[in-house]
Amino acid sequence: MEYELLFFTSVANEDRIGEIKREIDEIITGRGGKVSADFSDIGKRKFAHPIKKQTHGFFSFCRFTIEEAENLPELNKRLVLNDKIMRHIIVRADEIGKPIGAPAIQEAKQEARAAARVKKVPEVSEPKKEEKPAEETAKVEMAELDEKLNAILDETPE
């Protein structure tokens, strides 16, 4: 069965992400699994709340297959014991549908727009910013402006 592993590590370990990925690959293959696609990095993201006194983390994920589901608890245990991984989650790939990432997000947006056009439902757009009220002064043509300027200059005190 195919699964997806999402994990994040401290931003301090961002430069060691290759090493962490190799460790995860060894853990998966050691339990009879096989990484079916390369690891995909989501990147640095801010947490909703601090975790272990950290406010940001480096997120990454991969898909893997494992034939014997009874190896999942041991795989999970090994990932929990890895001190470089702050948190992780393993889900069945068929439960989440399409892979996550930038291309999948763009594809989902395009599908939503197409569905909105078919159903003739107005798309949700950003709220319009309030426009500043127009000034009440009317635009003056150049000739009128020259006349007013000349009148002001002629009124100079003697």
Mean pLDDT of 98-117: 66
Question: Does some domain include residue 25?
Answer: yes
- Predicted pLDDT at 1: 85
Question: Does some domain include residue 117?
Answer: no
Plot region of 120 (φ>0 → left; ψ -120 to 50 → alpha; else → beta):
left
The total number of residues written for the chain in this structure: 158
Mean pLDDT of 148-155: 81
User: Domain of 21: which CATH number?
Assistant: 3.30.70.60
Question: Does some domain include residue 98?
Answer: yes
Question: Does some domain include residue 34?
Answer: yes
Burial (CB count <10 Å: 0-12, 13-18, 19+), residue 49: exposed
For the stretch 105-142, what's the b/e string if a residue is b when 16 or more beta carbons lie within 10 angstroms of its beta carbon?
Answer: eeeeeeeeeeeeeeeeeeeeeeeeeeeeeeeeeeeeee
Mean pLDDT of 108-112: 73
Query: Is pLDDT above 50 for 136?
Result: no
Which of these, 6, 7, 5, 9, lies nearest to 54 by C-alpha position? 9
Q: Structure pTM?
A: 0.57
Question: Does some domain include residue 129?
Answer: no
Question: Does some domain include residue 53?
Answer: yes
Question: Does some domain include residue 49?
Answer: yes
Query: Is pLDDT above 70 for 62?
Result: yes
Domain encompassing residue 60? 2-102
* Residues ≥6 apart with Cβ < 8 Å to 60: 6, 7, 8, 9, 17, 21, 39, 40, 41, 42
Question: Does some domain include residue 115?
Answer: no
Number of domains making up the chain: 1
Give the pLDDT band of residue 154 (cuts 50, 70, 90). Answer: confident
Percentage of the chain beyond pLDDT 90 is 28
